[in-house]
Each structure stands twice: as C-alpha cells, then as structure tokens.
Chain A
Amino acid sequence: MSDKPRKFKGGVHPEDSKALSASKPVQTAPLLGKYTVIVHQNIGAPPEIVVKKGDLVKKGQLLAKATGFVSVPLHAPTSGTVTAIEKCPGPACVSVPAIEITADGQDEWGSPFEPIADWQNADPAVLKQRVVDAGIVGMGGAGFPSHVKLSPTKPVDTLILNGAECEPYLTADHRLMLEQTEDVLLGAAILARILGLETAVIGVEANKPDAISKLNAFASNYNVTVQTLAVNYPQGAEKQLIYALTGREVPIGGLPMDVGCVVQNVASAVAVADAVIKGHPSIERITTVTGEPVVNPGNWRFRIGTPISKAIELAGGVKVQPAKLLLGGPMMGFAQNSLDVTVMKNTSGILLIPVEQVSQYTSEPCIRCGRCVEACPMDILPATISQAVENERFDWAEQLNVAACIECGSCSYVCPSHRPLNQHFKRAKAEILAAKRKQQKK
C-alpha cells in the first residue's frame, strides 16, 4: 500500500477542535460510591438481568446475560451491593432500565476469566468465545456486538481497525493508540487470528501523526499495516473506511462481510486484548470530556455506569452554561437533557457545546444549491429527499434511496439554509420501517 492518505467520495471538513484534549494523557477516574449501569448497551436484544436487589456482586461479575446471538452480557464495574434495579435516564432522553450498584470500596475482582497468555496457539473458537463472554461491543459509537462481526457467514479476507476518529472534538481513540499502542496491535492480531487471517490493517486519519508513527514503530511485530487516511468527515464510517482502504463498495443494506471485510474499532480491539490476556470483561472505556465550556477538557478512563455529572465534575465543571450536552461527537452524537445519564460501553465522548455554536433551526427553504449532494458520502440527493419528507411522501423518499443514508450529518452541516435534513431522513427511515412492519402484519 502506498503512503498517500486514502479517502472516499464526498464528505465535509468541519473544524476538528481536537486540540482541546488531544495532548491530555488518559487519567483513570477514581472509584465512585455508586454506579448506575444501563442494561441495554448494545445494538440488538437487551440482555436479561441475573442479579436482584440486595445481591452482593464482585467486580466483573455477570449482571445480565446475553439473550441471543446479537446480544452481549453485562458485568459489574466494581464490587458492592445491587441497591436498585429501576429506570434511569437513558442516552436517547427516554428512561431505560438500569442496575444501581453501591460500591463497597474494595473494588475486588470476582472470578474473572482465565487469561489466555498463549493466544497465538489458542483455538480461534476459544478466543471468539472469550469475546462473547466479555461483552465487547463496537466502542466507536454504534455499540454493535463485536462477536457478531467475528462470525462472518461469507469469506473474509481483510480485517480493518478503525482508528480514524473523524468526529471533531473526540480524542479518546487518539490517546488510546498513543498510550496503549501495543495493546491496540495485540488486539488486532488476536482478532485476525479469530478470523483466520494473517494480517490486519489499521486506518488512522492524517491529523494524528504521533499516533501513526508510534503505531508504525510496533506494527511489524504484530503483522499489522498502518494506513494514513485523509482528514475528511465521515472517514470513520464503516462503509467509507472500507472504500478508502480497499476500494470496495459495501452494498446498500449490506454488511462489510459482503465485500470480505471486518471492521473493528481500536478501543474494541484493546477490550479484546484485555479480555484474552488479562481475562477482564468490558467494564471500562476511555472517554473524552471536552468542549469549549469545560474547565479542564481531557480524556478519562471511566467505568460503565459513571454518571455524566461525575465526569463533568472531574473535568472541573463548566465555565459557562453550555447550550448542549452530547454523548458522542458533534456530528453524530446524541443531545442529552439530563446529567444523570451514565457512561456506556460506546460512549466515546461527553461533549459540551457553547451557545455560539448551536445552530438554530430556521426552516429556510431549500435554494437547491446542491452542496448537500456534493457532500453526501453515499451519493444520494439529500435536498430532494428532505422535500419528499416535508410532504410526507415517504414512498418517494424510499425510491430516492433514503435507506442508504448513514446519518453522518454532512448534508445538514453544509446546508446554507440550515435545513434539518438529517432529522428528515431519520423520520423517513422510521416511517418506512413502520410501513413495512404494518404490511408484514397484514
């Protein structure tokens, strides 16, 4: 592969604002008195709670077991007592079931998994089972169970590690690659073994030169190649990443394995390495707490169940009242209206956005400038689809391939009329799905 940064069609270049936290080493958050672990942290079926109120749990003990193939188990972030199992604010501003654990302060490991030190000679099936048991999900944001991707039903020839971190502001993956370089590569090698592959490729955006050079220094030891990617949002989107690295187009509605690829986030790779080498389940992650209003932006290692309010407190609180609180990055993150939401396995960032940056919804009509068409990485016509949705013509939106939309938000970002394009697509997809379900029922 050449050294020229790889890129895809379309995309936008928002100001990356990563300088706020890029140079801050990862700190481990201190042990809290109480954790509220949201039960459903993955795409797919929610796990089934196996503890009850009053139970004593050890760190890493199973709290909820997987309820199917596309489901992952949940483990206790620390040792203590289950003090409540009730609803708490979830990441979509809707209450969701959660398990409250009051820590006993001992932070004592239960019986973790047996470390598999000799992973190079271990049976890939055993390694894969470890990924299943450790409850690892895609930690880049989507929360798709990792083991599902590791069980392709089609031949796979390429393992891609996603270190693009194209979202502005976020630096969690950047710090991870810099500080735990060998863990990332080790995870890549283990994942490659599970898939029966010799090599893996890790794609990193060119705005992280220190991480790229550090990865390059060790990569050959693990049979991994490092590929520089052009700085272009949404470079980290699975389909765009695959296209940039391999030139293959994932079909609409298809999966990476349809083109022989498996994509895993770098943080997930480290979680895999931890699960195999140390025997630890997925109970912590690195999260960036940042934004202009934050007093001390930085990167922290949080356990799942840490309330956002504690995370913001650790970052020194805020200088001014922010306009928005987001989980994730500014392009695809979810706006929150409660500080009681807790860190989940896929919380890559806690972002506070200042009032000046919040664009107001103005509902100006489309002037058909075509900027959204140019920016769309999926080559659909956002302006036309949005008009179809405004007229509630969801059949028309479907014909215009709204299903291909990855909701990256590039179109809304560039729109001079500040139209809520992305929200329109979300609506269209929801309505199309509802219509299909209705039809199936009939």
Chain B
Amino acid sequence: MMLIITAVLFTAGLGALLALIIGATARAFAVETDSRIETVTEMLPGVNCGGCGYAGCADFAKAIVEGRTLPVQCPVSTSVHTARIAEYLGITAGEKEKVIAVVRCGGSCAVTVRSPYNGVSDCRSAVLVAGGAKGCDFGCVGFASCARACPFDAIEMRDGLAVVHPELCIGCGKCVDTCPKNLIVLTPAAVDVHVYCNSPEKGAVKTKVCKTACIACRKCVKAADNETQMTVNGFLVADNYSNPPISDLVEKAKCPTKALRLASKHAAGAYEGVSK
C-alpha cells in the first residue's frame, strides 16, 4: 500500500514539476503574434492550395492582416466568405476576376496516335523519354501529372487527355507548372469558348497526327463578332481573352476539326475522343 502511495505521489510530483517548467518556458519564450491572424486563418477554407500565391492559408492570412494582399485573392472562398473576412478586419475585400484552367489540347488517344510507352507514369518523366510518345509534339502527354496536382479533383483523365471540369476548377493554378508542354492556361471563367490546340505546326503536319488540331482556316475569326475576338499566330488561332468571343461562336464558326469548343461541353464529353 505504501508502495502505491509513494509511486502515485512521486509521479504526481514529477508531473507538477515538469508542468511548471513548461509553463515558465512558454511564458519566457512566448512569441508575440497577432491574434487576428489566427482568426482569419480559421475563416479561410484551409485547403492550402497555394492559389493565392502564398504558402498556405496561414501565410495568406498573415499577408491579409499585414495589408499585403486582399481577401479576394483566395480563389476558393466565395464572395460571402471574403466579405466576412473584410468586415472582420475592417478592410475592403477587393475585386478579382475569377479564372479557371484550360488544357489547350483535344488530342485524346482516340483522335491522335500514341506509341505504347513503358516507363514512369508521369508527364514530366515521359517527355524526357520520347517526347511523351504522342504523335503530336505539342499535345497533352496524358500521364495525369496535372490531375494529381489538383487539390480539387477538377481535372479528369479521359483516354489519355486531361480535361478540366469548369464547375470544379477554382483557378488556383497549381496544375499550370506541372504540364511539361505548357498547355494549361488560366482564363477568365466567364469565357466558355476556347481553341483546344497548342501546336504551332503547319496544318498539314498537324492533321497527319491529330484529328482535332486547329488548322488555322480562320472560319472562327470571320464568324466572330469582330476580327479582334480571335487572334491568329502563325498556324494557330486562339481566343483574345481581353476581348473574348461569346459562346455562340462555336455554333456560328462550324470549326471543321472541332478544335473550337465550349469548355463546359468539352468536360461533359460532347466531342469526339473525350466521351465518357
């Protein structure tokens, strides 16, 4: 009995002593922090996607509190959330156009050729071996590096092609750097029509390797409301995102290779090669 009491007393005493030491040290070495940072961090979504350009939500919160950025830079938060943060800090939420990512390629395995590849299943590794093994040197490699990088599962692989779901994408831009072919661009979310091709090759070369390549026939340029809505760069047409075309252009232009597509319908599988 005595033994038990001694043990209990000893342990309790040791515990109390250590608690004292820890408490004293915590006080002595306490780091002054702004309590608002913690509150703002809690008000942020906490996915740590990095889309704001800071190293995670806590860092972003610190930046907001210190006035280096505005709450609206968080691509995940809705306007209600950013407004709440702004209200708490007594600042303005700021304004920012919502962007989403677009993979500028429509060349799934069904519409282009891909050699059998045997190696690391990662785009940046695959391009080192055989340029990605696809017929087109500029197209989607199809080993899902961007899809793995996406914190919101907004990129789906369909038959060797990365397809962005516009309704899931929040435009954090994490995927942009993962693409060895630099296919992914962040575009204004309001624009739905895009050219799904990134090959600067001549039309004849492109059509040899891909059925949905842009052949620079300029039908869409002519069909657009005014000539500046689409830009032609060599053998490749692209949206002019500062003066973007509206969605009915796809109907009007009748793109012969279906390189001009609506992002929403592309993700829904309405075009050849990307059907589910």
Residues of A bordering B, CB below 8 Å: 87, 92-95, 335, 337, 358, 360-361, 420, 423-424, 426-427, 430-431
B187 at interface, CB cutoff 8 A: no
Contacts of B156 in A (CB 8 A): none
Contact present for A427 and B124 (CB under 8 Å): yes
Specify the chain A residue showing the minimal Cβ separation from B136. Answer: A95
A430 touches B124 (CB 8 A): yes
Cβ of A92: which chain B residues have Cβ within 8 Å of it?
Answer: 130-131
Chain B residues with CB under 8 A of A337: 115, 130, 133
**In the bound complex, how far is the Cα of B130 from the Cα of A101, in angstroms?**
27
Q: Is the CB of B118 within 8 A of A358?
A: yes
Give, as a whole number of angstroms, the nearest-CB distance from B133 to chain A.
Answer: 6
CB distance from A206 to the nearest CB of B (A): 33
> Quick one: which of B119, B122, B125 has the most chain A CB within 10 A?
B125
Chain A residues with Cβ below 8 Å from B131 are 92-94
Task: Tell whether, in the assembled complex, residue A361 and residue B118 are in contact, meaning their CB atoms are under 8 Å apart.
Answer: yes
Within 8 A of A (CB), among B102-143: 115, 118-120, 122, 124-125, 128-131, 133, 137
Residues of B within 8 A of A420 (CB): 119-120, 125
Residues of B within 8 A of A (CB-CB), count: 15
Residues from chain A with a CB closer than 8 A to the CB of B129 are: 93, 335, 423, 426
Check A427 against B120 for contact (C-beta < 8 Å).
yes
Known contacts A424-B120, A427-B124, A430-B124; decide if A87 and B130 are in contact (CB<8 Å): no
Enumerate chain A residues within 8 angstroms of B205, measured Cβ to Cβ: 87, 95
A-B contact count (CB 8 A): 45
Tell me if B201 is interfacial: C-beta within 8 Å of chain A: yes
- Closest Cβ of chain B to A391, distance in Å, is 12
Which chain B positions have C-beta within 8 A of A360? 118
Say which residue of B118, B125, B130, B137 sits within 8 Å of A424 (CB atoms).
B125
B177-209 vs A: 1/0 string, CB under 8 Å?
A: 000000000000000000000000100010000
Q: How far, in whole Å, are A360 and B116 apart by their CA atoms in the complex?
A: 11
Contact (A423, B120) CB under 8 Å given A87-B205, A95-B137: yes
A156 to B190 CA separation, bound complex (whole angstroms): 66
Judging by beta carbons under 8 Å apart, are A361 and B119 in contact?
A: yes
Instruction: Enumerate the 7 nearest inter-chain pairs by beta-carbon distance, A residue then B residue, closest first.
Output: A337-B115, A93-B130, A94-B131, A93-B131, A427-B125, A426-B128, A361-B118
Q: How far is the CB of A3 from chain B (nearest CB, A)?
A: 42
A382 vs B119: C-alpha distance when bound (angstroms): 17
Instruction: Report how far A426 CA is from B119 CA in the complex, Å.
Output: 12
Q: A423-B119, A426-B129, A431-B124 are in contact. List 17 more A-B contacts (CB 8 A).
A: A87-B201, A93-B115, A93-B130, A93-B133, A94-B137, A95-B205, A335-B130, A337-B133, A358-B118, A361-B118, A420-B120, A423-B129, A426-B125, A426-B128, A427-B124, A427-B128, A430-B128
List, in ascending order, chain B residues with CB within 8 A of A94's CB.
Answer: 131, 137
- Within the complex, the shortest CB–CB distance from B118 to chain A, in Å, comes to 5
The chain A residue with its CB closest to the CB of B135 is A337
Q: How far is the CA of A427 from the CA of B115 in the complex (A)?
A: 20
Q: Which residues of B contact A87 (CB under 8 A)?
A: 201, 205
- Specify which chain B residues have a CB less than 8 angstroms from the CB of A335 in the assembled complex: 129-130
